[in-house]
Amino acid sequence: MKNLKKVATALLGGFLFVLGSCQQGPKKEEPTESKAEMEQERVEPPKGIISLEESKSLYDNYSKNRLDIIQQYEAERSTEKFEAARFTSFTYADIKQYIAYIEQEAKGAQVDISSLRFYFANYPDKANFPDGKKIVHPRQNSIFIVPTMETADGEYGFYIGEDGKAKLIKNAVGETAVGSTAKNGNKSHASFAPSFATSTMAESKSLNMNHGSSGPPPDGDY
């Protein structure tokens, strides 16, 4: 009889335990990321971020110290109406693709990108670029982007040679390029005018980016 009571008690306890477990709702999933991990994902503003007031000041300085000179110079060159550019823009998608592309090519060449240089540029007074693309704004100022790498002699822009290795731009089109001389017969310093010594440059990969959209700013920006 005592054994029967023990069995009955054990069965009743097991039934109540199962019943209690069923009544408890499904456990809530704990977040997989800790608070510390989530905070680490936040990106701090770069040191180069400037205030709206400072950007307005820089914009106005350009208007006062450069714009009239450009307008006057272009008016003397041609009777056609000319409005100086105030910016160059690339789509966000293009910039992301460009960053991914140069990182890919630099990794393949086993070099690290040190910085991105934004060179000031000026479009020729022609209908098309050398690659056949239309020049939307002839004579307009623009920029082109050049990735750089560290060398034993300093930091220089580079491209990918036909052998897949990183080559210095200055050795192809700059002051040390064969045949790159100024009109006075001296070496042309800081020149980016094409002066290629060999035809092998056709097989090389340039990492320089241009063909952005240039023009006066939209009404209301500044």
Residue 102 has pLDDT above 90, yes or no: yes
Residue 106 has pLDDT above 90, yes or no: yes
CA distances from 75 to 13, 63, 136, 217 (A): 99, 17, 19, 21
Taking the alpha carbons at both ends of the chain, their separation in whole angstroms is 96
Q: What pLDDT is recorded for position 212?
A: 65
Average pLDDT over residues 55-70: 92
Taking a C-beta distance cutoff of 8 angstroms, is the pair 150, 128 a contact? no
Residue 100 has pLDDT above 80, yes or no: yes
The pTM of this model reads 0.67
For 175-203, how does the pLDDT look when each residue is reduced to its tens digit (9 = 90+)? 655 444 444 444 434 434 444 444 445 56
